[in-house]
Amino acid sequence: MSATMLKVLVIHPSDDLIKSVTIVNSQNKKAGPFDFALFIGDVFTKDHINLDELEPDIPIYFTQAKDESINLSKLHSNFTYLGDIGIYQLHNGLKIGFVGDCTKKYPEEDIIKVFKDQTLDIVLSKLWPDAIAKEEKLLLSADQRLDVILDSKPQYWFACGNGKGLYFKREPYSIDGRVTNFISLAEMGSGRFWYALSISKTPKVVSEPVGKRPIADSGSSKRPLDGSTNSNSKKKSQQMNTPFEVLPESCFLCLSNPNFELHMVVAVAKTCFISITKGPLPTRSKDGFSGHGMIVPIEHFPTLRALVYSKDSNGKVQESDVYLELHQIQLSLVAMFRSLGNNSTVFWEISRKRSVHAHLQFLPVPDSLISAFQKTLDSQIEYMKRLGSESIEYIKFSQNDDLDELYETINSQDYVLFTIYEKNTVTKYLIKLGTDENKFFDAQFPRKVIAVLLDLKNRIHWSKCKQTRDVESAEKAAFKSAYEKFDIMRQQ
């Protein structure tokens, strides 16, 4: 017998509350009905809001009213202000814990007092718990005192982070058989701002541990979060972490890895370096190198957005130093391949949160073949579909198209992006992969497309194209001498 499921819509609204309420009402009609909605973050920040115009069709619970002068009694009866910090039990039995952006007003003891020994269904907080922010290197978005709430084992924890918030979904994890989903939402207009879920008052208990549990800094939360009195549980979860993490010391794209293959590096810029690849798709051309290479951000992050947000949680990937330099390097490579013959250049990036170290690959493609790129991409998508894979869709951006949707994507979700530089045009093909990091995507797909385009199907698997260290060194040297006069560092 399945327990009754409740449907909930969570929104991180912007100042435009009318729009947020309109979205709740329209989603309730389209995708609902929802039992209730939750507003997280700074709700009611503008004093000129005409409260009469806010008419939600379903109950909306919110934690924060930054404009303290707001007359809550004038609000539509479907609004419920939860308060600064506390626990609220709904009629249906669900327990919601909430902590607004007010933690500085309260000592840690107060937070502990409220949440100690509680088992909650949903937690709403403005900031992230430090234990999770640390994993993502987003300390500005966090408050260490929230770590104590991890122990209340909520089924869902919604937070915003700093400023305009940030969309992020952590790998679910379990404590004592209860699974927690931690989800951070960006403010409406700044990224993904909504989340819909079904929740039961009596969630399934898992018998095997799920995911890796966030580890609270023992210096801050003196109590072990699960009530145990020794550090065994911490040790255990650290051990569980090991298979999921590749540290810079052992990452094959990190310069700090003692085994890093320096003989592959063509050039180093301020934030990125260029290297040739292992097992290049084409063999060496008359110029002495295949041209198949990588542009790699120096810092160890799985995606560009993780790298950018680590410095500024409100940052935009497309405005970051690393992105601008990546772009400059792309142009320099395009110019170099063009100088070597009638070559277009293809760049591709697989950006996935579960990746180890972000990078872009590139390859020159003769002008005579590049015009077949889209047809080849279409045929490979069709081929994958026939093999039973989930169908892939792409969005094409031609030279003068608006790139808003591209930027929205690279700032908020996993994706694959091909960028084709032909003689006079630039075309981009974006495949959105969403935010489910466990969703399957064949990481060899871009290479397969280019292999078919170049009629190199026998070289699809890179491991079968491995070269000796001497050949790699020779290829790097040839690449380096061709690239020297295009090197962006020389031109500065």
Binding region for Zn ion (CB under 5 A): 251, 253-254, 300, 357
Smaller CB separation from Zn ion, 225 or 254: 254
Asked if residues 383 and 451 have their Cβ atoms less than 8 Å apart, the reply is: no
**Residue 362 buriedness (CB in 10 A; 0-12 / 13-18 / 19+):** buried
Q: Which residue number, 37 or 356, has a Cβ lying nearer to Zn ion? A: 356
Least gap, CB of 84 to Zn ion (angstroms): 41
Tell me the closest approach of the beta carbon of residue 254 to Zn ion, in angstroms.
Answer: 3
Whose Cβ is closer to Zn ion: residue 219's or residue 258's? 258
User: Min. distance of Cβ 439 from Zn ion in angstroms?
Assistant: 23
Nearer Cβ to Zn ion, position 291 or 297? 297
Minimal distance, residue 362 CB to Zn ion, in Å: 19
Strand partners, 365: 344
433 within 8 A of 441, measured Cβ to Cβ: yes
Supply the minimum distance, in Å, between the C-beta of residue 257 and Zn ion: 7
Comparing C-alpha atoms, which of 361, 287, 376 is closest to residue 330? 361
Residue 392 C-beta: closest distance to Zn ion, Å: 28
Q: Which is nearer to Zn ion, 114 or 356 (CB)?
A: 356
Nearer to Zn ion (CB atom), residue 82 or residue 356? 356
Nearer to Zn ion, 49 or 251 (CB): 251
Query: What's the min distance (Å) between Cβ of 251 and Zn ion?
Result: 3
Q: Which residue has the tokens 């869902």?
A: 156
Report in angstroms how near the CB of residue 252 gets to Zn ion at its nearest: 8
Q: Rounded to the nearest whole angstrom, what is the least distance from the CB of residue 242 to Zn ion in the complex?
A: 16
**CB-wise, 127 or 254, nearer to Zn ion?**
254
Nearer to Zn ion, 114 or 254 (CB): 254
Q: What's the Cα-to-Cα distance from 208 to each of 25, 79, 211, 215, 439, rounded to whole Å? A: 39, 39, 10, 19, 21
CB of residue 260 to Zn ion, shortest distance in Å: 9
CB-wise, 131 or 306, nearer to Zn ion?
306
Residue corresponding to tokens 């292992």: 278
Task: For residue 426, give the amino acid letter.
Answer: V
Q: Do residues 459 and 466 make contact, with C-beta atoms less than 8 angstroms apart?
A: no
| 285 vs 310, beta carbon nearer Zn ion | 310
Nearer to Zn ion, 145 or 359 (CB): 359
Neighbours of 273 (CB within 10 A): 20
CB of 443 to Zn ion, least distance (A): 17
Tell me which residue of 265, 282, 155 sits closest to 206, measured CA to CA.
155
Residue showing the smallest CB distance to Zn ion in the complex: 251
Answer whether 146's CB lies under 8 Å from 180's CB.
no
As measured in angstroms, the least distance from the Cβ of 274 to Zn ion is 16
**Token representation of residue 290:** 């295949």
